Structure 1
Amino acid sequence: MKTEAIEKISNKLQTKKTIVYAVLLLLVFVSAIMVVLQVFEYRQDYRQLSTFMRERDDLNAEWGRLLIEQQTFGATAQIGTRAVTQLRMYSPPIAQTVVISLPQTSEQKK
């Protein structure tokens, strides 16, 4: 009788060990899947961050070009204003304008 009771206890203990090992194995597997998913999400986020950084750099370059263009147009107006006010320059009237045309060569007539 004692041997049968010992066998029952050892069978129950063996069953409990098997269940515990199965649960632990399942938890390790779930943990591995979660690690894979986290790495996948990290890569997706990093790719998106790289795209945003590239877009930011492109926008900064365009902003710089627009600032240079704005300064250029502003300088043109300043030059015209200074020419009129400081140097007293003006556009001549049509009566004082002379148009000179060059004689045409035979190649240009064709």
Structure 2
Amino acid sequence: MKTKAVENNTEQSRLKKMVVYLILLALVFISALMVVFQVFEYRHDYRQLSSFMRERDDLNAEWGRLLIEQQTFGATAQIGTRAVTQLRMYSPPTAQTVVISLPTTSEQKQ
């Protein structure tokens, strides 16, 4: 009777060990899948970050070009305003406009 109880006890302990091993194996497998998933997410996020950084660099370059263009147009208007106010320059009327033409040389006639 004692041997049956011992055998039954050893069977139960083997069964418990087997269940514990299966649970541990399942947990290891699940953690491995989670690692793979995290690496995939990291690579996806890094690719997206790289594309955003490239887009930011392109937009900064375009912003610099637009600032240069704005300064160029602003300088032209500023030069015209200063010419009128400080130097008292103006466009002459047609009556005061003289057109000078250069004499043609014999080489240009041929």
Q: TM-score range by the shorter chain?
A: 0.7 to 0.9
Aligned to 2:101: 100
> Structure 1: any 5+ residue segments left out of the alignment?
none
Distance in 2 (alpha carbons) for counterparts of 1:73 and 1:91: 21
Judge which range, 91-100 or 70-79, deviates more.
91-100
**RMSD between aligned residues:** 1.8
Deviation for aligned residue 1:13: 0.6
Determine if the alignment matches structure 1 residue 76 to structure 2 residue 62: no
Aligned to 1:44: 44
Question: Compared with structure 1, are the counterparts of its residues 37 and 93 closer, same or farther at alpha carbon in structure 2 (3 Å cutoff)?
Answer: same
Question: Compared with structure 1, are the counterparts of its residues 101 and 48 closer, same or farther at alpha carbon in structure 2 (3 Å cutoff)?
Answer: farther
Aligned to 1:63: 63
Residue type of the alignment partner of 1:68: I
> Structure 2: any 5+ residue segments left out of the alignment?
none
Q: How many residues align?
A: 106
TM superposition score normalised by structure 1: 0.85
Q: Which runs of 4+ in 1 moved over 4 A?
A: 101-106
Residue type of the alignment partner of 1:57: D
Residue type of the alignment partner of 2:45: D
Question: Compared with structure 1, are the counterparts of its residues 32 and 99 closer, same or farther at alpha carbon in structure 2 (3 Å cutoff)?
Answer: farther
Residue type of the alignment partner of 1:43: R
Distance in 1 (alpha carbons) for counterparts of 2:62 and 2:109: 46
Deviation for aligned residue 1:94: 3.0
Distance in 1 (alpha carbons) for counterparts of 2:2 and 2:27: 37
Distance in 2 (alpha carbons) for counterparts of 1:55 and 1:105: 59
Of all paired residues, the percent bearing the same amino acid is 72
Question: Compared with structure 1, are the counterparts of its residues 16 and 87 closer, same or farther at alpha carbon in structure 2 (3 Å cutoff)?
Answer: same
Question: Compared with structure 1, are the counterparts of its residues 77 and 4 closer, same or farther at alpha carbon in structure 2 (3 Å cutoff)?
Answer: same
Distance in 1 (alpha carbons) for counterparts of 2:38 and 2:109: 78
TM superposition score normalised by structure 2: 0.85
